[in-house]
Amino acid sequence: MAHARAPGISIWLPWMLLAAAVAVGLALLDRDGTQPAAPISQPAATPTPTLRTPTNAAHLQPRLQIDSRAGVVNVNGQLGDPDRARLATALARTFKTNGVEGDIAADPGIEPAAWLDEVILLLPDFKAKAIKLAIDGNAARVDLARVPERDRAVLSKKIHGLFTDIEIRGLDD
């Protein structure tokens, strides 16, 4: 008669090893590699909110760069979501889909661009002439070097008339 084998450690050993391997794997997944995982009994540290300070406030200002050449405009910058959508609509209406290059990042923490209406009013001039415009916060830099000389004075006067609330550099007065 064959002797029946009593369940012992040999039956439970593979399951115990598997459970240990899973526990080690989960512990490794819990770590980000910079410090040991916090014990479960300690509460997690609450992150402190980032305050707007003068050093990072500049990053929350709207920025826009427009460079037009031969009916194609290259745009770059960072605007709030509503301003970005308004500008994208105006650019598509003025330059059509294949006439716009570049990208404008959207960030909900950026202040509204007080000068956006003026930029939108100026877009037809960007289509007709080769203009460079860079606005950062409340300062603008305009380059009309590629605009025919006969058109510079009129365009400079128009830009000065539109952008009354920001500092403008680079225009002929």
* Chain segment 9-50, per-residue pLDDT in tens: 667 667 677 777 666 666 655 555 545 444 444 444 444 434
Classify domain 59-169 at the CATH topology level.
hypothetical protein tt1634 (3.40.1520)
Domain boundaries, the chain: 59-169
* Chain segment 43-74, per-residue pLDDT in tens: 444 444 343 434 444 458 999 999 998 778 99
With residue 80 as reference, give the H or E element that holds it: none
Query: pTM here?
Result: 0.64
**Which whole number is the average pLDDT over 116-139?**
92
* Chain segment 78-95, per-residue pLDDT in tens: 999 999 999 999 999 999
Residue 140 three-state SS:
strand
Nearest to 84 by CA among 69, 106, 108: 106
pLDDT band at 135 (very low <50, low <70, confident <90, very high): very high
Q: Pairing relation of β-strands 167-169 and 132-136?
A: unpaired
